[in-house]
Chains A and B, each alone.
Chain A
Amino acid sequence: MQERLKHSIIDAAGMKRTLTRMAVQILEENEGTENLVLIGIHTRGVPIANRLSKIISTLEKGKTVKQGILDISLYRDDYKTAAKMAEVRATEIDFDINNCNVVLVDDVLYTGRTARSAIHGIFDFGRPATIQLAVFIDRGHREMPIQGDFVGRSIKTSPGEEVRVRVKEIDGVDEVVLVEEYDDDERGEK
């Protein structure tokens, strides 16, 4: 599968501003950091959760937010048929999540299947008071009754397109771009 750039959506400075706004909204909605938990979903949800956590900590004068990592590969709904490598990455939730307000963090909200899997996964660790969803980009085309509670940017896309959220920690650059796929002989895995 090949892809080519269509256009840039957000640059590094824009990403910073958007993340700050999302952090504020999370704090506002949850009335501070008490019982607040950020869970980054592998792969790019993890650095985004880190950054949100840092911003929150700055805003709240050094108070820290509990942070975890969730790998949803054990909770996929297409495990039996997906022609993909079975790989389990680390899940790190080494605190009690009972009665917490869990904010799941991911880069892109698309079909909603990843969020559904993540919600399923969270319940194996306990019974949180609430589960909320923070996504940096909502690109539409939902296949589940799922919506983002905190959304960086909503954009209109068509199915042949992909949104790439790139972060310095993994990709060496902060940006969001829209790309177009062609010569597609594989299933489009995010």
Chain B
Amino acid sequence: MSHSADNHINPPEGWQGYNCHNLAIRGARLFDPELKLDMVSDIVILEGKISSIGPIPKDFGGDIIEGKELTVCPGLFDMHVHLREPGYEYKETVQSGCLAAVAGGFTGVAPMPNTNPPTDTPATVNFIRQQSAGTPVDVHPIGAITAGRKGDQLSEMAELNKAGVTGYSDDGSPVPTAELMRLALEYTMMSNSVIIEHAEDTSLSGKGVMDEGAVSTALGLPGWPSIAEDIDVYRCIRLAEYTGGRIHIAHLSTKESVQLVREAKARGVNVTAETTPHHLTLDCTILEGYNSNYKVNPPLRTKADIDALIEGLKDETIDAIATDHAPHAHDEKEVEFILAPFGMIGLETALGVVLTKLVKTKKITLSRAVQALSNAPRKILNLPVAKIEVGAIANLTIFNSDEKWTVDGTKMLSKSQNTPFGGWELTGRATGVVNKGIAFVRRD
């Protein structure tokens, strides 16, 4: 995509693109939990900003989106995705990943740096950002903690910060030593940035491919024990406590880690955490058919862990829901389970899964869900929050909380199909997004 500055819009097939010079949404439920806004109203957007909340003026000459049965909330933000570009464009590109984000209702994503080359220079950061042109999706690359993601020494973090990076991670791998983690936490205090740890003690997880326990024992698959996560989470928390640095735990998956974070927060440690829609809804018994689409790192855990994650999400021990969207090509997954790569896609299903399995079942409130999927992650990454108020930049997600649809891996906007939710009947689906001066809306 060579169109960067001219607002050239490029909606996917089946979607309508709009310019936001003059756009209105009529009669939608406007829902902004942080502003305690929950009302049915029209909303008018002029030059990319919210110009009025209230009846559309009679002389309004712009496009109007019919908002009946729709909810408008602050734009969703996914702080943990893998867009695979540069280096693995056959799995996903920034463009295809952004379109998948749109389909899922996300207006912003933070791609992890495990690309080739890894995101450890401003040039790569800028390249990735540019690739999102023409989409309504903000792309905020996460920088590598260590140069080349090799786990040896710190990357040029201050340079990366000048290029706009506010979060660092070696995601896919943990920071190998406590000393290096200490240095990373101390160094990023200069910019008040956050270190995002993929928590895994690899000496314990070893060759593990699934949660260790009765199911792995029966399947004869090497176990990745929950304790391997807990030990690293504890290490991170104590180092953050000791240094005063900011630590964020990626894809929290275990009951014990939830409790560690809860206790640390109570002590005032600068710790935040995210978990994923799949860890919130799938347990390891689903692996009994050796379906590699369920192979993910950290692995799917037990029902007790799921309950603890939901509880943690509820009491805000867990701040954010992030998808860990990890596309892999069909033939990479179409192999023996132990050889398949870890990862599942999640951008297009996250909202539907959370609404269906957590909100409709009253495990968490809609407010909590929207918060965890939108501004909670922005705050962790020091990004401006999205708001539904007059004068704010229009950064909005539109969804239909009653739309029933069936997940079909072959119909994803992502380049890959490795969803664990294929065939699921979901209630609630993103209808459109508004951001960066453009809007994409799903056609019926």
The answer to whether any beta carbons of A and B sit under 8 Å apart in the complex is: no
B residues in contact (CB < 8 Å) with A: none
